[in-house]
Amino acid sequence: MAIENWQHDFNIGTVVRNANAFLAKEVHIIGKKRWNRRGAMVTDRYQHVRHHGSVQEFVAWADDAGVPILGVDLFPDSVPIETYDLPRRCVLVFGQEGPGLSEEVRQAAVDTLSIAQFGSTRSINAGVAAGIAMHAWIRQHATIAH
């Protein structure tokens, strides 16, 4: 899981909390190092969080780790996440609230995925989108014991 943080995005705490709930290996924050931990509800103490000062640093990490980058945003060429075959090992990247994914991340992504929406709002916030995307991954890959 990764999120861009160029404007001190308030959704990062929610992304960290979601990552903890879905047992994501790490959360990668690209851009500014400072973020509002309040939304993490203390899960940032248990969740691995890694900072990358630039998109280039993040892409180099992903290349070294052999992890494909998948952007999540509403673009005309985005592929619906509901029908996408998510790789077991991947990093889902979310853009800044408002402007969305940067062009740099979009160019580095193997694919850009969209989440189906039917209402009048242009988009859902990054924290909500991260939870939906992680659940899509869980549906394809997790073994759930009851």
For the chain, the 3-state helix, strand and coil shares in percent, each to the nearest 5, are 35, 20, 45
User: Could you report the per-residue pLDDT of 86-143, keeping only the tens digit for each?
Assistant: 999 999 999 987 788 999 999 999 999 999 999 998 888 888 999 999 999 999 998 7
Question: Where residue 3 falls among pLDDT bands split at 50, 70, 90?
Answer: very high
Distances (CA, A) of 15 to 40, 44, 105, 143: 7, 10, 18, 22
Q: Residue 65: helix, strand or coil by DSSP? A: helix
**Domains of the chain with bracketed CATH:** 2-141 (3.40.1280.10)
pLDDT of residue 52: 97
* Burial of residue 133, with CB atoms counted within 10 A of its CB: 0-12 exposed, 13-18 middle, 19 or more buried: buried
Calpha distance 118→23 (Å, rounded): 29
Which of 36, 42, 44 shows the shortest CA–CA distance to 10?
36
Alpha helices in the chain (DSSP H): 12-21, 55-65, 103-108, 126-141
pLDDT of residue 92: 98
pLDDT of residue 8: 65
User: Could you report the per-residue pLDDT of 17-52, keeping only the tens digit for each?
Assistant: 899 989 899 999 999 877 777 767 777 778 889 999
pTM over 0.85: yes
* Burial of residue 47, with CB atoms counted within 10 A of its CB: 0-12 exposed, 13-18 middle, 19 or more buried: buried
